[in-house]
Structure 1
Amino acid sequence: MLFCDRNQSNEQIIILGEVRKLPSVPQFIEGVFESYNRIVIVIDLRKIFQLESTAMEDIKVIICSINDSLIGFIVDDVSQVIQKTRSEIQPSPPPVIRGINPNCVYGMLDEDDKHVLLINLEKILTKQESQILSKVDSVTL
């Protein structure tokens, strides 16, 4: 299954460098790093989706601005940026992947004989997880 984000809030895509680990945070938070004098909180999407971890050489991160915080989402790969019209987006499938907040899925595409699940990274975390991120952001600044 492939995932796609509506990239309105995306600021950049980078190769992840050194991350400072934080004590007493949930497993999905890998730590923080500084980018252009701003703190970026790093989240592992595989852990959010409860998927098995894989070893990666160059770890890619999509940096998004969410609720005045910079969040870096670790992704397996970023293959391309595509533009689609609303009419090309199919309705959301029933929840089929454990760990995915159903509120963040807003549709599906069939792209090159593959199903692409459309997710909104701004809604991927639960309210409780978002509150934890706010605390992490205020402590690290």
Structure 2
Amino acid sequence: MNEEQRGGTERFLTLNLDKEHFALDIYSVREILDMTEITRIPQTPEYMRGVVNVRGSAVPVVDLRLKFGMPAAERTLNTRIVILEIARGDGSAAIGAIADAVKEVLEIETDRIDPPPRMGTGVKADFIRGIARHGERFLLILDAEKVFTTDEILALDGLGARHGDDAPGKAAGSAGGFPPEAVPANPAA
């Protein structure tokens, strides 16, 4: 994090995976979907669940639990697919991420975001941008572009994930086509 970011606030969408709390920069979130039918694509990694139809486009969906080495979970009423816009070369790619539950949008002061702890040479945790305390819990702030590596994004293009800067529903300066305050605080309600 550079000095220009210190002293301000950032907005994050919080979500749960197992008993862990994660956060994504709100500006990488395009929309939040209820769990829907996912069409499986043969010969893809287990964490790649398949594709969903988002307004006529096939968007690949990743199970974040499996991607992070957590046990698989049953779908519940709270299970959501978070559609993210990930920068890719000259455009962006839409990718869905399955979360156990989407919680709320939080504003966190940037000087309260600590760098991720060093875990040793055998542990790859470069996808964690930082850690912030919220109440009695820690939030692991994910770097969406590192969670979904460039190689994965390029491979997903074949599944129909390619989108230009003028993707439908994407308004300039908004969080994926809607203002951050329009993200429901409790989508299950």
By the TM > 0.5 criterion, same fold? yes
Letter in 1 for 2:114: Q
Tell me, yes or no, if the aligned pair for 2:58 and 2:159 is still in contact at 8 Å: no
TM-score, length basis structure 1: 0.85
Tell me which residue corresponds to 1:78. 102
Higher helix share: 1
CA distance in 2, matches of 1:34, 1:95: 38
TM-score, length basis structure 2: 0.65
- Residue number among 148, 158, 167 corresponding to 1:135 in the alignment: 158
Q: Give CA-to-partner distance per residue, 1:54-112, whole Å, 9 cap, x none.
A: 2122320110112322111001111111011211111212248x98x522211111111
- Residue number among 47, 51, 55 corresponding to 1:32 in the alignment: 51
Residue 143 of structure 2 is aligned to residue 120 of structure 1? yes
CA distance in 2, matches of 1:76, 1:123: 21
Number of aligned residue pairs: give it: 137
Give the secondary structure class of the aligned counterpart of 2:111.
Answer: helix
Decide which moves more: 129-138 or 45-54: 129-138
* 5+ long unaligned stretches in structure 1: none
Rg comparison, structure with higher value: 2
Tell me, yes or no, if the aligned pair for 1:69 and 1:137 is still in contact at 8 Å: no
Give the fraction of aligned pairs with identical amino acids, expressed as a percent: 23
RMSD across aligned C-alpha pairs, in angstroms?
2.2
Residue 82 of structure 2 is aligned to residue 62 of structure 1? yes
* 5+ long unaligned stretches in structure 2: 1-19, 163-189
Deviation at 1:129, TM superposition (A): 2.7
CA distance in 2, matches of 1:95, 1:126: 20
Letter in 2 for 1:109: A
Letter in 2 for 1:92: P
Give the secondary structure class of the aligned counterpart of 2:27.
Answer: helix
Higher strand share: 2
Tell me which residue corresponds to 1:92. 116
Tell me, yes or no, if the aligned pair for 1:39 and 1:70 is still in contact at 8 Å: no
Tell me, yes or no, if the aligned pair for 2:57 and 2:160 is still in contact at 8 Å: no
Tell me, yes or no, if the aligned pair for 1:60 and 1:78 is still in contact at 8 Å: yes
Change in Cα spacing, 1:138 to 1:42, as seen in structure 2 (3 Å) is closer
Tell me which residue corresponds to 1:5. 24
